[in-house]
Chain A
Amino acid sequence: MTPDLLARLEQARAAGRPVVLATRLPSGEQILLPGDGDASAGLATAAEAALQADRSQTVEADGAQWFLHAYNPPLRLVVVGAVHIAQALVPMAAGLGYGVMVADPRRAFATDERFPGVTVSTDWPDEAMDALRPDSRTAIVTLTHDPKLDDPALDRALRSRAFYVGALGSRKTHAARLGRLRELGHGDAALARIRGPVGLDIGAVTAPEIALSILAQIVAVRRGAALVG
């Protein structure tokens, strides 16, 4: 890889811009897509498909073999509630490669000391969600236990294409929550997107164990694992 190409690839990644590094095999000639104008239409289309599917693969284009390395920006995790479980969840999610954001208007919870180096929003959760613009590569977890904070976040989450929406709370709490969200106009299909009680049932007790159960569920949903009910 030439220094110029590496610099352009690193630049795209730093800017969160999805790109494909296309390598002709076995000669090793490389271009960056989209951007480099000399790519054929077939190769450009295949690169776009690789980004869409988030899958790197070798394809046949213009009678040659090309390896398409898809570099999508990191998946995101939005945590609503700067609570104890969030303190365990945030570093674990970062370790899995997620870009993590925390939203909690309660400034006693949302402090830099409790969440060093993390993007923390103290806006009201619906405003925080509007600013963060969750997309199909975003997971959202609400942890506050407080309907006036969780509900507006979940309302926005259900209006987004987030691939995972989870809400902490017991079955009873969850049933009541669904009733309130129904009054906000959400139907059965939307409500069924919420994983509640949140996390895989691994008998988690401590904050790190609950964080692990939540992340295991997020990974399972993301990867389409069979254990997801």
Chain B
Amino acid sequence: MTEAEDVLGTAAAWSKAGEQVAIATVTETWGSSPRPPGSQMAVTASGRMAGSVSGGCIEGAVADAAKRTMETGAPQLLDFGVTNERAWEVGLACGGKLKVFVERLG
């Protein structure tokens, strides 16, 4: 697996180097969501980012949620899509819906 897709490997390396890391994973999708379940994004408290969970539409919001999870240690299951009020804030131009699980690593 290459660095571009091996987000977990990248996250593990960051963690070993002493960074605080959270991982976001797409767990379910409906409609035309661009990235399938299993797609991941890693975020560090210092602001590094790897991977993706959408075509760029919701990565900002997921990074914010990841910061909260890093602080509290509590995982979150996020809903994104047209039926959700957040859709108006972060927007999924494709009209898809997805769930993203955010957890702290280590």
B82 interface residue (CB < 8 Å to A): no
Q: How many residues of A contact B (CB 8 A)?
A: 24
Q: In the bound complex, do residue A56 and residue B1 qualify as a contact, i.e. CB atoms below 8 Å apart? A: no
CB contact under 8 A between A58 and B28, given known A23-B101, A25-B101, A97-B1: yes
Across-interface contacts of B5 in A (CB, < 8 A): 97
CA distance A9 to B28 in the complex (A): 22
Please report whether the interface of chain A is mostly helix, strand, loop or mixed according to DSSP.
Answer: mixed
Across-interface contacts of B4 in A (CB, < 8 A): 95
Across-interface contacts of A136 in B (CB, < 8 A): none
CB contact under 8 A between A1 and B101, given known A6-B12, A95-B4: no
CA distance A136 to B28 in the complex (A): 27
Q: In the bound complex, do residue A69 and residue B25 qualify as a contact, i.e. CB atoms below 8 Å apart? A: yes
> Which residues of chain A from 15 to 69 have a CB within 8 Å of any chain B CB?
23, 25-28, 55-58, 67, 69
* B binding-site residues for A, Cβ under 8 Å: 1-2, 4-5, 8-9, 12, 15, 23, 25, 27-28, 36-38, 75-77, 99, 101, 103-106
* A binding-site residues for B, Cβ under 8 Å: 1-3, 6, 9-10, 13, 23, 25-28, 55-58, 67, 69-70, 74, 94-97
